[in-house]
Amino acid sequence: MTLYPIKFTPLFKYRIWGGNKLKTVLNKNYTEENIGESWEISDVKGDETLVSEGPLAGKSLRDLIKDFKEEVVGAHVYKTFGEEFPLLIKFIDAKTPLSIQVHPSNEIAKQRHNSFGKNEMWYVMEAEKDAELIVGFNQKVDKASYIKALETGKILEVLNNDTVSKGDTYYIPTGRIHAIGAGVMLAEIQQTSDITYRIYDYDRVDATTGKTRELHTDLAVDVIDYSFDSNYKTNYTIAENATNTLVHSPYFKTNILNIQGDIKKDFTDLDSFVIYICVEGSLDLVCSGKTYTVAKGETIFLPAAINDIVLKASNADVLEVYY
Does the annotation list 113 as a binding residue?
no
Q: What pLDDT was estimated at residue 199?
A: 94
Q: pLDDT tens-digit profile of 298-313?
A: 999 999 999 999 999 9
Chain-centroid distance of CA 309 in Å reads 24
Domains annotated on the chain, with CATH: 8-221 (2.60.120.10), 244-322 (2.60.120.10)
Task: Write b or e for each residue in 110-137: b if 16 or more Cβ atoms lie within 10 A of its Cβ, otherwise e.
Answer: eeeeebbbbbbbbbbbbbeeebbbbbbb
Instruction: Give phi and psi for 176, each to the nearest 5.
Output: -90, 120
Q: If pLDDT is split at 50, 70 and 90, which confidence band does 208 have? A: confident
pLDDT digits (tens, 9 = 90+) for 239-283: 999 999 999 999 999 999 999 999 999 999 999 999 999 999 999
pLDDT at 194: 87
- The pLDDT value given to residue 164: 98
Whether residue 120 is annotated as binding a ligand: the answer is: yes
Q: What percent of the chain has pLDDT over 90?
A: 95
The answer to whether 198 and 214 have CB atoms below 8 angstroms apart is yes
Backbone angles phi, psi at 88, to 5 degrees: -130, 125
> What is the distance between the alpha carbons of residues 289 and 165, in angstroms, rounded to a whole number?
38
Each residue of 3-60: pLDDT tens digit?
999 999 999 999 999 999 999 999 999 999 999 999 999 999 999 999 999 999 999 9
Contacts for 202 with CB less than 8 Å, ≥ 6 apart: 97, 99
Residue 103 annotated in ligand binding: yes
3-state secondary structure of 26: coil
- 198 noted as active-site residue: yes
Report residue 116's pLDDT band, with 50, 70 and 90 as the boundaries.
Answer: confident
Q: Which of 15, 112, 176, 198 is catalytic?
A: 198
Please indicate, yes or no, whether the overall pTM of this predicted structure exceeds 0.75: yes
Mean confidence (pLDDT) of the chain = 96
Rg (CA), the chain: 20
Q: Residue 1's pLDDT band (boundaries 50, 70, 90)?
A: confident
Confidence (pLDDT) at 63: 97
pLDDT at 47: 96
Cα–Cα nearest to 81, from 92, 71, 73, 89? 73
